[in-house]
Structure 1
Amino acid sequence: MLFVTPSRQYPTGAILSLERRRQLLEWAQRRDAVIIEDDYDSEFRWGGRPIEPLKTLDTQERVIYLGSFSKTMFAGLRLGYALLPAGLVDPVIRAKAIYDPMSPGLLEQRALARFMAKGDYGKHLRRMTRMYGARHRHFCTLMREFVSEIFTLMPGDSGLHVYAYWQRSPEEYAAFIEAAKRSNVIFRDAAVFHVEQGPLAACFGFAHLDEQQLTEGVKRLAAAWQDVQNNV
């Protein structure tokens, strides 16, 4: 079994190439294996054509496609879905009946189904994409303007966070994190995602902030870096 996020890898946002996707499907066929495709965080795209899921290339019934509504609606909804190969539908239904006999959120499922059937979900998704896309562009512009000396942004045109590589020394990075905390700016150190030590990097969430808050936050990052330099 193989678990992949080909449309948007977390946390970098990297996209699996078409050639690599085909290689995975060939591997699964040779090994008589199953691929679980998690379509993580790919609903929101700011540019370029939509990326087709690995599932669309699957002609051998090898891919289980998973998704949820936690990002497009709200996390508390707790509804997800799975597109299964025909041969796995009955076994999964039987397994779920044992593991989870009471289907969660029946009312929520019906409400969401009605929301989608009326076309309102599509309208909602387009509206949120416009809003998040504007915030993404604003944030990236600010980062390049104020802190390009210390961060290089990972290229990407989707998702609700930005991955950025640190350009200075490890000692300066540690000092910068502390300086940012003192300025009430919190971001995620990408070291928490590494099995082994890798390049220093950070994950910045932007979707929950408006443009004024994003501007203030990035300016505080710049001020934190200035504090680090003043204390060297």
Structure 2
Amino acid sequence: MTQNKYYEEMKELARSVRSEYGLTTPRVRKSDIGRIYKTHKIKYDLWPLKNSPPTAKFKKLRGAFFYDEYGATIMISRSLPEAPALFTMCHELKHFLVDRNLKSVLCGEYNQNENIEVGAEVFAAEMLFPDADFIAGLVQMGVKEGECTSEDLVRLKHSTKATISYAGMVKKAYFLRFARNGILDNVKWMKLEEKMYGVPIYKQIQRQRKQAEGLYC
């Protein structure tokens, strides 16, 4: 099987899972993936475990999948922000669905170029924001191939309430040829989003709390 065919099969698998669990928009939550985990009786933990210091060997670990006679366990790094953690949950789901014969898969920067890891990245990206929806969203906004800007991606994420990270959206924009290579690199996405749509309510509350704490210090 060629790499491209394998990656297309991972996309098709992701679309099948989305359909099975009623995921119809790019707004996928941790609870949605948790529901899939529960159906398959997958045990879910955060790494490192409580009261267990991380080892140097696993310093760059984003996620891990284990499968034995007791069933499946998926572990996600505690240090990951919300969007990367969600992506990693989807990534590890692919290992459960496709790679159980391997018994265990450790997912970090050191093995991200292996086929099974790239396949898991492709699966996760399609789970969170299917290519067809991504293309349709940009076309509806009037964006042509090769002309997508950083502002366009912010508008797309905002209008769809997509939970995929901006890093994931950038990869899609490049892969689907909506953006010229390099044009979306080094963008300060949160600052751009706040410039276009204002500071989110939760951030306003956080800042107000910090200011109030400062008054009483």
TM-score range relative to shorter protein: under 0.3
Q: Which has the bigger relative contact order, CA under 8 A and spacing at least 6? A: 2
Task: Calculate the TM-score normalised by the size of structure 2.
Answer: 0.24
Task: Calculate the TM-score normalised by the size of structure 1.
Answer: 0.23
User: In terms of Rg, which structure is larger?
Assistant: 1
